[in-house]
Structure 1
């Protein structure tokens, strides 16, 4: 059984809820990523912010990215995968919540991120095709 820990990209970093959308954008640029988990002062994951969120929910709405709190882009429920979850469980989570990236936690600690690309490399083509189809509707 392939686990999330085996297919994830390790070393994911958070943007804190009290940082700004501009801070998140700079961090994404520096790290060369399109999404970051949002973490609270308790270091628990509150959600994920994507480059698309920054464009659509901040810049596109005329908000000032330099003052807009990244924490205001939290989801109602943080979607995560456990480090020891199977790749199939991660796939099901992504399909159920229609997300392309999922933070991976070990207990409450962030240990990595699983992306659509990570899943695509780990699972048979028909399962990945189902996920892409789900995300595209």
Structure 2
């Protein structure tokens, strides 16, 4: 049984809830990623910030990325997966919530992120195809 811990990208880098969107964009660029977990001062996960959020909700809305805070874009409770949850749970959660990235939690600690690309590398083509279909509909 393949678990989230086995296929995740470990050591996810957070953006602080009080950090600016400009800082988040710079961090995404330097890391070569399209999303960052948003963590509060308590180091707990508050949500996910995507490059699309930056373009649509900040730049597209005429807001200044230097003055907008990442925490403003944490939308309710983050959709997560447990580190020891199996592949079926990963697929179900991604499909049900229509998300391409899942923060991986061990207790209350963020330990990594499972992205659609991680799933594609680790799981059989049929399962990956079903996920892509669910995310595209």
TM-score bin, normalised by smaller chain = over 0.9
Deviation at 1:41, TM superposition (A): 1.2
Deviation at 1:35, TM superposition (A): 0.5
Partner of 2:114: 114
Q: Distance in 2 between matches of 1:102 and 1:96?
A: 12
Equivalent residue pairs, number: 137
Q: Distance in 2 between matches of 1:36 and 1:90?
A: 19
Q: Distance in 1 between matches of 2:112 and 2:99?
A: 16
> TM-score scaled to structure 1, two decimals?
0.97
Q: Distance in 1 between matches of 2:29 and 2:76?
A: 26
> TM-score scaled to structure 2, two decimals?
0.97
Deviation at 1:60, TM superposition (A): 0.6
Aligned residue runs from structure 1 range 55-70, under 5 A: 55-70=55-70
Q: Is the 8 A contact 1:87 1:122 kept in 2?
A: no
CA deviations on 1:25-69 (whole Å, 9 max, x unpaired) are: 011011111100001111111110011110001001000000001
Q: Which runs of 5+ in 1 are unaligned?
A: none
Partner of 1:133: 133
Q: Distance in 2 between matches of 1:56 and 1:78?
A: 20
Q: Which moved more, 1:120-129 or 1:17-26?
A: 120-129
Q: Distance in 1 between matches of 2:45 and 2:97?
A: 16
Q: Which runs of 5+ in 2 are unaligned?
A: none
Q: Distance in 1 between matches of 2:30 and 2:112?
A: 17
Partner of 2:2: 2
**CA RMSD of the aligned region, Å?**
0.8
Name the SS for the 1:61 alignment partner: coil
